[in-house]
Amino acid sequence: GAGVSQSPRYKVAKRGQDVALRCDPISGHVSLFWYQQALGQGPEFLTYFQNEAQLDKSGLPSDRFFAERPEGSVSTLKIQRTQQEDSAVYLCASSMGVNSNQPQHFGDGTRLSIL
């Protein structure tokens, strides 16, 4: 398919474990975003990449959260020493350019549950 692909679709981890979530954006899309969505809330911004450069990580809740996009395509969001409050849906979105007038295309998300 030509859409944004995320894996795994579901992830269950024990508190304290590290997890890694993958995002494969639409081919050629320059911009890539990670969001966290809690139940009943809108997506909350975590971090933004323009190609391989992480231009904004102001939304990352703590230093346990780390994201990378080393070759400007696939991105990984890593959460270390997971806590129960990390349980949420993690959404990845990509867009073609860098202007705010261009819509973002979302992946299905990874539903993370921390036990």
Partner 1 sequence: RKEVEQDPGPFNVPEGATVAFNCTYSNSASQSFFWYRQDCRKEPKLLMSVYSSGNEDGRFTAQLNRASQYISLLIRDSKLSDSATYLCVGGVSGGYQKVTFGTGTKLQVIP
The residue ranges that bind partner 1 (CB under 8 A) are 31, 35, 40-45, 48, 50, 55-56, 91, 95, 97-109
Question: Which two structure tokens, joined as six digits, stand for 24?
Answer: 């494969």
CB of 80 to partner 1, least distance (A): 25
CB of 61 to partner 1, least distance (A): 16
CB of 67 to partner 1, least distance (A): 15
Instruction: Of 43, 44, 82, give the one whose Cα is nearest residue 62.
Output: 82
Which of 17, 68 has the CB closer to partner 1? Answer: 68
**Is 30 within 8 Å of 51 (Cβ atoms)?**
yes
Which of 19, 93 has the CB closer to partner 1? Answer: 93
Which of 1, 103 has the CB closer to partner 1? Answer: 103
**Is 9 within 8 Å of 107 (Cβ atoms)?**
no
What is d(CA 25, CA 99) in angstroms, rounded to the nearest whole number? 17
